[in-house]
Structures are given as C-alpha cells and as structure tokens.
Structure 1
Amino acid sequence: MTYCLGITTSSGLIMAADSRTHAGVDKISSFQKLFDFSVPKERVILMCNSGSLSLTQSVLTIFRRDIKVRAEMNLHAGSTLYDVACYMGNTIRKMHQQDGAWLKQDGIDFSCRFILGGQILGEPPELYLIYNEGNFIQATQATPFFQIGETKYGKPILDRTLSYETPLETAAKCALLSIDSTMKSNLSVGPPIDLVMYEANSFIVRHQLKLAADNPYLVKMSAIWQSALKQASEQMPEIEW
C-alpha cells in the first residue's frame, strides 16, 4: 500500500509520500514515490504516485526518456501545468493499451494514480490529481489537498486543520501528522518519508527532507501528537447520561 498527498496554499505547495510497498506479508520493500522533475528558475514539476509498481515505473521511465530525447511533448515542454497533466494522462493510457490486456488475463491489478504539483513561469502554482484512466481534476481554494493510496486514516487531520490560507510551514507539519497517523493504523504504509515544501514564485525547490523511522523530529512529533490527543480526550465535557 501507499500514502501520498499534495497540498496547495496561498503561499506554495507541499508534497509528501511514504516509501513502503508490499505484495504480501513476506514481500515488503521500499521504493521512492515522490519525484522532482524541476528546471530551476523555469518550472517546478513535482509528482507522487500510487498503484501498480510496474505501471508507475514504466510511466516514470517514459517521462525520463521523453525529456532525454527532447520529445515534442514532455514534462519540460508544456507551457502550462495543465499541458503537463494532459501529457501524463496520455502516457498512462498508452501503457494501459500496451500491457493492460495481458495482465488482465491473469487478474493482475494494473492501475495507478498521480498527484502533480508545481509552477511554470508566467503561471500560478497548481495541483492536479491524475486518475488511472488518464483524466484529472485540479485542486481549488475550497479543496486544497489531494490524497492517493491509503487515504482514510490521514484525512481527518487534513479536514480539521487545513485551509487554503494555512501557512506553508504549518501545512508541512499537517502533512507529516497525516502520514504519521496513517502509519500508526496501517503497517503497509511506512518510512522513509519524503517531504517537499515549495514556496510560490521561487521556481526552485529549497526545502526537501527524507525522514527515516528513527528520525528525531519524526519521533518527537509523533510523541507530542499522541500526548496532545490523549490530553484533549481527557478534557472533553462529561457526558450527560
């Protein structure tokens, strides 16, 4: 399983992802799920993915190849992030056409989702959720975050704490708390955790972290959050039976 999320605020973007994959209880491994295809001072292109590892790796390989050979359309050629989202959706469709039918014969899951976040010179920062079918939706001020993978455990924190006006540093903490809560409830989501904070209109990624399970900040944050939740529950008004 996987858990990735993207957050858009008035001051920038947050992208975060775990690294755990598994194909059964005895086949657990770690693979990177958050990727940076930025061109400093020109465009910031960040993405994370969930789903079939063979599909997502194939799609990412095509992205890298098209950049290398300077294909007519690639992650560095789109003039808007919408164009980039269209290109990513079309690439997913091509992989389904190439391999989908063969895998379907053996009942193998062949699906994926991507979160795309970034900014291209002359455009505002944007955040997209790209579905397995290649279509996509864009985040808005009313809906400032997207999740993919194991979403249910980390969603309540985001619903209660985030808005489009949330300071970027606070949004980054909310993202880590959301992932921490998911890891607490589902062992198929796990570290290391990749976290990127992008400041709007800077056109360069200055803040990124890879947090292992024993990272001091991650351990401290988890302990403080658990203690705060326990204290809050104890302070609730008495039930009038």
Structure 2
Amino acid sequence: MTYCVGIKLDAGLVFLSDSRTNAGVDNISTFRKMIVYERPGDRFMVLLSAGNLSISQSVREILQVEQLKEDPEDKESLTIWNAKSMFDAARVLGNAVRHVYDRDAEALKYTGVEFNVSLIFGGQIRGEGMRLFQVYSAGNFIEATPETPYFQIGEYKYGKPVLDRVITPDTRLDEAAKCALVSMDSTMKSNLSVGPPLDLVVYEANRFETDKIISIDMQNPYYRMLHSSWGQKLREVFDSLDDPVWDDAQTDTPLKTEGGRSKPLKKITRPEERLI
C-alpha cells in the first residue's frame, strides 16, 4: 500500500508521498511514488501514484512519450510537453492509463489481479493558473476546487482529519507542508504498509520550476521533531479535556441528559422481550 497527498493553495502546490510497497508481511520493498516533470520557465508537473506497482510504473513510463491524436488530420499530437493547459496534460495521462489497460487488463484478470491504479497529477503550464487532478483506473479524472483543495490516494483515512481541519486555499505553503507531514506521520503510526523514505515537493505559484525537493528518512531532524511533538501535543490536548460525568449536579457539561432526540439503548431482561 502507499499514501500520497497533493494540495493546491493560492500560494502554490504541495506534494508528499511515501515509498513503501507491501506484497506481504515478509515482502516489503522501497519504490518511489512521485515523479517530477519540469521545463523551467514553461511548465512544472508532478505525478503521484498508488495501486498496483506494475501498472503505475507502466503509466509513468508511457506518459513521457504518450501522444493523444483525436483527429487524423492534426499535424501535431498532444503530449504533456506541448499541452497548452494542465487539463489537456491530464487528458494525455488518462489516455496513458487506458493504453496500459488495453495492453495488460485482460492478462491481469486471467490471473485474478484487478486493474487498480490511482494518480494525483498537478502543476502549472505557462498561460494558466495551477491545477490539480485525481485520475482513476478508467483514465477519467476530477479537479481540485477551493472547497476541496487537496487529494489523497492510497491509505488515506488516517491522514485525512488533520487536512480537513487545517487546509484552506489561503493556507501558507510552509504550513501546508507541515500539515502534509503530520498527515503522513499519522498514517505511518496506524498503518505498517506506509513507510519511509518520504518525498516532499513544494512549488511556488508562477515559478515553473522548484528547488524545494527533499527526501525525508526517519533520521531527518525536522521530521523527528514533528513526530515527537505531535504525539506529545495530542496527549496534552487529550488530557486537558474533562472526563465524562454522569451527574448533571456536578458539572456544566453532563454526559447523560434528558429529552434528547434519541432514546437510550433498550436492555433485554427476559427471553420473550423484543427490541421492536
């Protein structure tokens, strides 16, 4: 399994991925899930992948040379290197996914393996703003919006709560990177199939290149600080909350109250009793 997150902000984009591939408790390997496509001054794109490793590697390989030609009379095929918009680049990616599906899906089905791949694709091409997409196994995709400014793929459930509470379009880039790392740390704490090293990329809007690319292992000083501090602060917040009190005479926030919309659970005390 894996965990990847892409965040679109007014100030830029943040991408984070783990690198663990798990094919059983005794077969754990390291494969990077992120690839960066950059032509300084013209375009900057990042691809994150989750799902079947052979499928995602094939898609990544094909994407660099994939051509989309909708009209035989077109003189030039569409590629990620000449696309005029990120939407068109996402269409090329979707076509690459379908290309791999047409080639491999039947053979995979014959051996009992599902065609499973999930992708996050984002960046900026000169002439338009930044865009972020999530691409599915069928090659179709959706785009991030101000109401939903981030996408997750892979083992996403453990890292979602902190993103929901923190990330908005006007979040600062460094704050979003910190939030993404907390999200990843929470995931790794609860799921052994997600693990280091981590790849982090931060892109500033309208630069069309970045030097903020880093690989993070468990000895990284910032990550070690974040890991220990987050766990400690969570415990402090938990300890600061009052324990539940059943008697409303002893607290302003009783647990047990009368007149609620739902009645307490009914107890069964005799064999002939029924819940309904």
What TM-score do you get using the length of structure 1 for normalisation?
Answer: 0.96
Match of 1:158 among 149, 158, 163: 163
Aligned length: 238
Q: Does 2:216 correspond to 1:226?
A: no
Q: Give the Cα separation in 1 of the matches to 2:165 and 2:181.
A: 14
The answer for the alignment partner of 2:258 in structure 1 is none
Larger C-alpha radius of gyration, 1 or 2?
Answer: 2
Paired amino acid for 2:105: G
Q: Structure 2 matches for 1:29-48, cutoff 5 A?
A: 29-48=29-48
The answer for the alignment partner of 2:110 in structure 1 is 105
Paired amino acid for 2:145: T
Using CA pairs under 8 Å that are at least 6 residues apart, name the structure with larger relative contact order, 1 or 2: 1
Q: Does 2:178 correspond to 1:173?
A: yes
Shift of 1:66: 4.3
Shift of 1:202: 1.1
Shift of 1:108: 1.2
Contact 2:66 2:92 in 1 (8 A): no
Q: Structure 2 matches for 1:1-150, cutoff 5 A?
A: 1-66=1-66, 72-150=77-155
Q: Give the Cα separation in 2 of the matches to 1:106 and 1:152.
A: 29
Contact 2:63 2:92 in 1 (8 A): no
SS in 2 for 1:153: helix
The answer for the alignment partner of 2:192 in structure 1 is 187
Identify unmatched segments of 5+ residues in structure 1: none
Shift of 1:215: 1.5
SS in 1 for 2:171: coil
Paired amino acid for 2:11: S
Q: Give the Cα separation in 1 of the matches to 2:45 and 2:213.
A: 14
Paired amino acid for 2:55: L
Paired amino acid for 1:60: R
Q: Give the Cα separation in 2 of the matches to 1:184 and 1:31.
A: 20
Runs of 4+ in structure 1 deviating by more than 3 angstroms, as ranges, are none
Q: Structure 2 matches for 1:191-230, cutoff 5 A?
A: 191-230=196-235
Which one has a larger percent helix, Structure 1 or Structure 2? 1
Paired amino acid for 1:114: L
Paired amino acid for 1:163: T
**RMSD (Å), alpha carbons:** 1.2
Q: Give the Cα separation in 1 of the matches to 2:80 and 2:32.
A: 19
Q: Which moved more, 1:231-240 or 1:114-123?
A: 231-240
Identify unmatched segments of 5+ residues in structure 2: 68-75, 247-276
